[in-house]
Structure 1
Amino acid sequence: MAEKNPMGAAGRAPTADRADGIRNVALVGHSGAGKTTLVEHLLAATGTIQRTGRVEDGTTVSDFDEVEVRQQRSVNLSLAPMVHNGIKINLLDTPGYADFVGDLRAGLRAADAALFVVSASDGIDGLTQMLWEECAQVGMPRAVVITKIDHQRADFDEVLAACQDVFGDGVAPLYLPVVTNGHVNGLIGLLSQKFYNYATGTRQEKEPGAEYESQIEEYRGSLIEGIIQESEDESLMDRYLSGDHIETKVLIDDLEKAVCKGNFYPVLCSGMGIGAAEILELITQGFPSPLEHPLAEITTVDGKPVQGISCDAEGSLVAEVVKTTSDPYVGRISLVRVFSGTLRPDMTVHVSGHGLADRGHEDHDVDERIGTLSSPLGKHQRTVAKAIAGDIVAVAKLSRAETGDTLSDVERPLLMTAWTMPDPLLPVAIRAKSKADEDKLSQALGRLVAEDPTLRLENNAETRQLVLWCMGEAHTDVLLDRLAKRHGVEVERVDLRVPLRETFGGKCQAMGRNVKQTGGHGQYAICHIEVEPLPSGGGFEFVDKIVGGVVPRQFIPSVEKGVRAQMDRGVHAGYPMVDVRVTLYDGKAHSVDSSDMAFQIAGQLAMKECAQKVPVLLLEPVDEVSILVADDYVGSVMSDLSSRRGRVLGTEPVGTGRTLVKAEVPELEITRYAIDLRSMSHGTGTFTRSFLRYEPLPSHLAGKLSTASE
């Protein structure tokens, strides 16, 4: 790229203090593709840092979290701001693990374009395609950077072909790597038709040799055709086919428009010391500014649509918390994208958060005074005086704001429609290691939930377990690591208990006899009941067939209360009882010693006696499961479901190359399915689950679960 007029629509060059001088770009790609290394190269190329690589303590300038330092992988959304040719670039480095797709979606919400990172040595895997589809779902303008082109196993042509095959139409290279004696020493710009030589360590522009003419002609022709196809000028194609020269500036302008519309995806290259200038040029000249980014729906806090909000520094304040972290010294820090208005230190804002109550995030509307504003780079915070519409900034001391919350003017509270959060589907039961840990656990978990909307906290009263619903094993490891290292709380994993149910396996009659005389006021209550099982989902029925007043009317509800109490406690293995009809048909009472409590106890005793006469069946919960997986893995998924006692209900194609498998599977068999499916499908399979009904547990498994765990 070259020759573009840098002047904005108003005839002024874009600057970082206006929205047209800001570029918010999310780096997207699978783990190991080289996103963090690319961030460091761009930071060094813009002079933001002096050099790339790890500093003395082993961290990088973009390491945002102590977990990343220990595990040597990115597990957080992190911000790397820089300035190039007067344009401020906010690079949002997103995690490349499926477990942290919540942070990926947060990064896409805060960005106006995505730079998709693919390794030249490793190529594209299924997870890469899934991440591309995540971007496509939100209509994000994209470009592709093929990294590690200087790796000994790098094959640019092969990876480019894979990108075109997997990502579809619209993928075309802007630059080609030049390899001499097995080393990449430069790039050829297909639009400029110049050779950018990096052999000396600095970029030098030259004319390409004659040996590259055929290669340039082949790739340049495909590139120009792709750009012209997206052009609004229909005459360009006729001019091109007739052999007319198309000015480079016209091509660059149409390239930018095609990228902004999300219909064209230019491909660039990056290696050690190569490609940074070209990538920065694309970001500043080819990617859209915040002015071109459509805003999500905005409403009042009571849900009424609001019109007229745009990316205007003088407009009403609308900002969104896209990431929340806790610093042991500073406290809570919120990464905020400002969509409208201007954010200033020490101003009071309205904080609105709605829609995630099921994950432990209470709906709230509060006013808070914010602290300092800063531009973060790794753990370093550089104080800024304000954040205008279009910018991204770190805000201190927002004690009530959580990820996904909206910040607005106190006089005009507003709410942005939140982005879709993935459902956590891996349950992990934990308990504190000591009494001291138990005392601190509740507060520490509250902070984790505030930071991470993909985490759901469940305190299961039935199993008496504390359950973290996580995205996967890596997500779990990070959460437990933070509990221990950041909050000083040690926990241990315990076996997850699945809440079972009991029911009677047949019809029977029993008597509950509660007769005690110990001197003075005694107890006297006798009841005869008949118990029979109901169909699955039948619940509980209590039938009164007392005649002749053998059980006084005021004590009939007492019998029912006792029966219900015993059903809640279970009669065999300690699990609640369901799907039972109990008929009270006879009994006896005493004019003095009968009482409400006496008949409650009699009802309980009668239920226990029934358990001695007929089999008691254990019932297990069965979920309806929908699994979306690539066609290549459908056979493996269906075989695996059969091994889990699942019943496949059917399959249907979804889009190109993917199939939706629907099945009914016992909950006992899918507690770790989030991990197993990811392994079977190489990280590409997803699923949803919802409770369907209870069914009898097979006898060989019922024996293992004959008593409820304490």
Structure 2
Amino acid sequence: MGDKANAHPGAAGRATTADRPSSIRNVVLVGHSGSGKTTLVEALALTAGAVNRAGRVEDGGTISDYDEIEHRQQRSVQLSLVPVEWDGYKINLLDTPGYADFVGELRAGLRAADAALFVVSAAQEPGAVAGATRAVWEECAAVGMPRAIVVTHLETARTGYEELTGVLAEVFGGDDPDAVLPLYLPQYGAPGPDGHSPTTGLVGLLTRKVYDYASGRRDELPPDPDQEPLIEEARNRLIEGIIAESEDESLMDRYLGGEDIDVKTLVDDLETAVASGTFHPVLAAAPAVDGGREGLGTVELLELITRGFPTPLEARCPQLTTPQGAARPAVGCDPDGPLVAEVVKTSSDPYVGRISLVRVFSGTLRPDETVHVSGHGLDGHADRDGAEAALHEADERVGALSAPFGKQQRTLGRVIAGDLACVAKLSRAETGDTLSAKESPLLMEAWSMPDPLLPLAIQAHSKADEDKLSQGLTRLVAEDPTMHLEQNQATHQLVLWCLGEAHADVALERLRTRYGVQVDVVPHKVSLRETFGGRSAGRGRHVKQSGGHGQYAICEIDVEPLPAGSGIEFVDKVVGGAVPRQFIPSVEKGVRAQAARGVAAGHPLVDVRITLHDGKAHSVDSSDAAFQTAGALALREAASGTTIHLLEPVAEVRVLVSDEYVGPVMSDLSGRRGRVVGTEQAAGSRTLVRAEVPEIEIGRYAVDLRSISHGTGRFSRSYARHEPMPQQVADRLGALLEGGA
């Protein structure tokens, strides 16, 4: 941002301990899968001296030592922290996955950071920018998080830099496109054999200087005369954008009056506008070439981070309460203040055990001290019946503190307010939990997570796996709050709810590799029910005599359908003592037990009135068990005399989608036997579509909606009621009818 050509880099691979919050910057990298976030982190680490030219730290490891799952899937699936030093500052770079299935890792990064770098690939179609990143941009805007944009892949650009910056201003600037402007313009070299002109440097619009990276290092040069008109045009627009956000209201009048505003004033105002979240500069970056250390734009980006992004002192600590819910005053980012920290990510290491990535908001965290762990589950992560996750508390001893470098962990002596670090052996801490002083327990407000809406029904592969399955699933869900585990009482299935297919694949792989549990995926079942299509009668006769005490019970019932939601109604109309009074509850118990087991396809019977009107008993051989059996037999006979309708659950679905995809979404819902019940206009050129859809039709809707809406749509679902299933659908599910749900 200024004239500085090189800053003092951090020592390669050395774990750093920040000595004051003002020297820390916490930055999350956000962008579509394949946009180049991880490559950019590696380039910044190389420029800062955290790694050597081969990308390795001193002990031979690399910061890009991915786990086996990431190697196999060829994409990032988890949040990673890379701390580097630059010009006396510690920068915590939080690299997030770009694939939608791992948005939980992205939300964790946003929670831990104070500013965001949106990484956009010039190799993408311009229209892909909006769908991939707009929602996250709006999340950051809602909380006032400072943001900057980094353009990558200039070497394979299918979109010109000027055109792309215009798209970015339109997409992210909203009503104020001049709040999104480039700080630098790319400089191009001579065309190669393929006709493509490589990007060799950047032109600083404020300084009017060229920063040339062609040699592998950053050289400062004057611009060519033929570049000056283009530079001046872009520079004037940039100055106007900066001045418009300036706190000095006289600056615009001075500028319009012809005064040449000095660079220092402009840079100071730019840094203030970036830190306040009102101006969003666009930069370009690329890895180093020809064995150089400084990649294109990496020095400029590090300068922006250290000088333009806010310190943790300017960040707001989430609201605090006691674990019992009593409000507590906010705390500042003070290393000497009360301890308030949060577990933003949990992972397991086969040798170290559980590792918690922690952001310290107040106080200082030290190894071997005992802290209080409080957690209440995350927003959107309640039980599927609507009940909030139970509060859990425990005192735990803090293990070793460390800073990660790829698979290596560098020991730290302490972690002060504003910093991040890994904490070992917090065995009872889950993602989202609060760490505080044991004598003064605190609980931070929960952070929102998306509701997992893709069901994965699983069962242990073998008896040995069954013994380990419960513990493995418990640990898996504790690590990843975007997963939900359900033991469905209606279908008797164990269901792991995920965000998408890739999320489910990672869950199964982690169960196998981390916890040694092999599971089989089975078809997911919905909770079907049965009801009578008309009135019917049944007689249950249970008479057995085989010597000694016998069994004797006869009962006669009438069954009639009731309105939806009525459940099972039992009516006693026995007269004259045909069924002794003490056995009438036995008949009711028998018919209710049979109703729960089903009378046709094994699904629970609902919405009927069962009237007991006659029967017979024996003075010696009648018993409670005999009349229970007779009641069940009577209900089964009544079912054989009428049509039994299959009822399917219907969900109320709310789909939020960009206006351009409303038509395809509504057409798709209709194809799923859905009924659209209304639409509402929402902010950001989006529409909320409300529909009622059979649950059996939306098992994969989390995946299909993403395809239909090009990643821009999201939905929620809730149970509405059970309705009769059309006969043609029931016939198509013959196997389900035979085997039960």
**For this structure pair, what is the TM-score category when the shorter chain's length is used for normalisation?**
over 0.9
Equivalent in the alignment of 2:9:
none
Equivalent in the alignment of 1:338:
360
Alpha-carbon shift at residue 528 of structure 1 (Å): 1.7
Equivalent in the alignment of 2:160:
155
Equivalent in the alignment of 1:700:
728
Alpha-carbon shift at residue 361 of structure 1 (Å): 6.3
Partner Cα separation in structure 2 for residue 465 and residue 52 of structure 1:
50
Conservation of the 8 A alpha-carbon contact between 1:59 and 1:69:
no
Conservation of the 8 A alpha-carbon contact between 1:39 and 1:62:
no
Kindly tell me: are residues 31 and 214 of structure 1, through their superposed partners in 2, closer, same or farther at Cα, counting changes over 3 Å? same
Equivalent in the alignment of 2:14:
none
Equivalent in the alignment of 1:684:
712
Q: Secondary structure at the match of 1:166?
A: helix
Residue by residue over 1:276-318, the C-alpha shift from the partner in whole angstroms, topping out at 9 and shown as x without a partner, is: 0000000000000000001111111111111141110000000
Equivalent in the alignment of 2:169:
164
Conservation of the 8 A alpha-carbon contact between 2:533 and 2:642:
yes
Superposed, 1:644-655 pairs within 5 Å as: 644-655=672-683
Q: Secondary structure at the match of 2:719?
A: strand
Conservation of the 8 A alpha-carbon contact between 2:212 and 2:219:
yes
Kindly tell me: are residues 361 and 54 of structure 1, through their superposed partners in 2, closer, same or farther at Cα, counting changes over 3 Å? farther
Conservation of the 8 A alpha-carbon contact between 2:62 and 2:405:
no
Residue by residue over 1:343-364, the C-alpha shift from the partner in whole angstroms, topping out at 9 and shown as x without a partner, is: 0011100000113562896521
Equivalent in the alignment of 1:502:
530
Q: Secondary structure at the match of 2:473?
A: helix
State the TM-score, normalized to the length of structure 2: 0.92
Superposed, 1:444-593 pairs within 5 Å as: 444-593=472-621
Equivalent in the alignment of 1:7:
none
Superposed, 1:290-301 pairs within 5 Å as: 290-301=312-323
Q: Secondary structure at the match of 1:41?
A: helix
- Match for 2:71 among 69, 72, 80? 69
Partner Cα separation in structure 1 for residue 216 and residue 536 of structure 2:
90
Q: Secondary structure at the match of 1:358?
A: coil
What is the identity, as a one-letter code, of the residue corresponding to 1:171?
V
Superposed, 1:610-621 pairs within 5 Å as: 610-621=638-649
Partner Cα separation in structure 1 for residue 613 and residue 333 of structure 2:
74
Conservation of the 8 A alpha-carbon contact between 1:121 and 1:155:
no
Conservation of the 8 A alpha-carbon contact between 1:76 and 1:95:
yes
Equivalent in the alignment of 2:383:
358
Partner Cα separation in structure 2 for residue 152 and residue 54 of structure 1:
29
What is the identity, as a one-letter code, of the residue corresponding to 2:160?
D
Instruction: Report the aligned-residue RMSD.
Output: 1.9
Partner Cα separation in structure 2 for residue 333 and residue 573 of structure 1:
48
- Match for 2:415 among 387, 390, 393? 387
Matched, 1:670 2:695: no
Equivalent in the alignment of 1:2:
2
Partner Cα separation in structure 2 for residue 519 and residue 88 of structure 1:
89
Kindly tell me: are residues 52 and 164 of structure 1, through their superposed partners in 2, closer, same or farther at Cα, counting changes over 3 Å? farther
Conservation of the 8 A alpha-carbon contact between 2:18 and 2:419:
no
Deviates more, 1:168-177 or 1:254-263: 254-263
Alpha-carbon shift at residue 252 of structure 1 (Å): 2.1
Conservation of the 8 A alpha-carbon contact between 2:537 and 2:557:
yes
Conservation of the 8 A alpha-carbon contact between 1:64 and 1:78:
no
Alpha-carbon shift at residue 397 of structure 1 (Å): 0.6
Alpha-carbon shift at residue 178 of structure 1 (Å): 0.8
What is the identity, as a one-letter code, of the residue corresponding to 2:182?
P
Alpha-carbon shift at residue 494 of structure 1 (Å): 1.4
Task: Provide structure 2 residue ranges, at least 5 long, that are not aligned to the other structure.
Answer: 5-16, 191-196, 288-294
Partner Cα separation in structure 2 for residue 291 and residue 42 of structure 1:
24
Equivalent in the alignment of 1:322:
344
Equivalent in the alignment of 1:11:
none
Equivalent in the alignment of 1:178:
187
Deviates more, 1:185-194 or 1:358-367: 358-367
Conservation of the 8 A alpha-carbon contact between 2:43 and 2:286:
no
Matched, 1:307 2:329: yes
Conservation of the 8 A alpha-carbon contact between 2:24 and 2:312:
yes
- Match for 2:83 among 81, 84, 89? 81
Matched, 1:234 2:249: yes
Partner Cα separation in structure 2 for residue 308 and residue 448 of structure 1:
32
Conservation of the 8 A alpha-carbon contact between 2:536 and 2:639:
no
Equivalent in the alignment of 1:287:
309
Partner Cα separation in structure 2 for residue 571 and residue 529 of structure 1:
15
Partner Cα separation in structure 1 for residue 171 and residue 494 of structure 2:
42
Alpha-carbon shift at residue 59 of structure 1 (Å): 8.9
- Match for 1:398 among 400, 418, 426? 426
Conservation of the 8 A alpha-carbon contact between 2:62 and 2:407:
no
- Match for 2:217 among 180, 183, 202? 202
Deviates more, 1:655-664 or 1:514-523: 514-523
Alpha-carbon shift at residue 180 of structure 1 (Å): 2.3
Count of equivalent residues = 699
Residue by residue over 1:19-72, the C-alpha shift from the partner in whole angstroms, topping out at 9 and shown as x without a partner, is: 0000000000011000000000000001000025599xx995234432112222
Conservation of the 8 A alpha-carbon contact between 1:115 and 1:145:
yes
- Match for 1:146 among 145, 151, 154? 151
Conservation of the 8 A alpha-carbon contact between 2:486 and 2:496:
yes
What is the identity, as a one-letter code, of the residue corresponding to 2:21?
A
Deviates more, 1:698-707 or 1:132-141: 132-141
Partner Cα separation in structure 2 for residue 418 and residue 532 of structure 1:
49
Q: Secondary structure at the match of 1:537?
A: coil
Residue by residue over 1:90-142, the C-alpha shift from the partner in whole angstroms, topping out at 9 and shown as x without a partner, is: 00001101111111111000000000100111144412223323333433210
Deviates more, 1:386-395 or 1:136-145: 136-145
Q: Secondary structure at the match of 2:338?
A: coil
Partner Cα separation in structure 1 for residue 725 and residue 529 of structure 2:
10
- Match for 2:258 among 222, 243, 250? 243
Equivalent in the alignment of 1:609:
637
Conservation of the 8 A alpha-carbon contact between 2:395 and 2:438:
yes
Q: Secondary structure at the match of 2:512?
A: helix
State the TM-score, normalized to the length of structure 1: 0.95
Alpha-carbon shift at residue 509 of structure 1 (Å): 1.8
Equivalent in the alignment of 2:194:
none
Report % sequence identity.
65
Q: Secondary structure at the match of 1:62?
A: coil
- Match for 1:271 among 286, 289, 294? 286
What is the identity, as a one-letter code, of the residue corresponding to 1:110?
A
What is the identity, as a one-letter code, of the residue corresponding to 2:342?
E
Residue by residue over 1:148-181, the C-alpha shift from the partner in whole angstroms, topping out at 9 and shown as x without a partner, is: 2233545211221111111123111111111122
Partner Cα separation in structure 1 for residue 278 and residue 574 of structure 2:
76
Deviates more, 1:212-221 or 1:148-157: 148-157
Conservation of the 8 A alpha-carbon contact between 2:345 and 2:358:
yes
Matched, 1:641 2:669: yes
Alpha-carbon shift at residue 434 of structure 1 (Å): 2.2
Q: Secondary structure at the match of 2:534?
A: coil
Q: Secondary structure at the match of 2:553?
A: strand
Partner Cα separation in structure 2 for residue 698 and residue 642 of structure 1:
15
Conservation of the 8 A alpha-carbon contact between 2:601 and 2:740:
no
Partner Cα separation in structure 2 for residue 258 and residue 654 of structure 1:
29
Equivalent in the alignment of 1:8:
none
Q: Secondary structure at the match of 2:739?
A: coil
Kindly tell me: are residues 166 and 60 of structure 1, through their superposed partners in 2, closer, same or farther at Cα, counting changes over 3 Å? farther
Q: Secondary structure at the match of 1:323?
A: strand
Q: Secondary structure at the match of 1:121?
A: coil
Alpha-carbon shift at residue 550 of structure 1 (Å): 2.1
Matched, 1:256 2:271: yes
Partner Cα separation in structure 1 for residue 62 and residue 69 of structure 2:
13
Equivalent in the alignment of 1:9:
none
What is the identity, as a one-letter code, of the residue corresponding to 1:432?
A
Alpha-carbon shift at residue 206 of structure 1 (Å): 2.1
Conservation of the 8 A alpha-carbon contact between 1:361 and 1:449:
no
Q: Secondary structure at the match of 1:81?
A: strand
Conservation of the 8 A alpha-carbon contact between 1:3 and 1:249:
no
Residue by residue over 1:675-702, the C-alpha shift from the partner in whole angstroms, topping out at 9 and shown as x without a partner, is: 1111111111111000000011111222
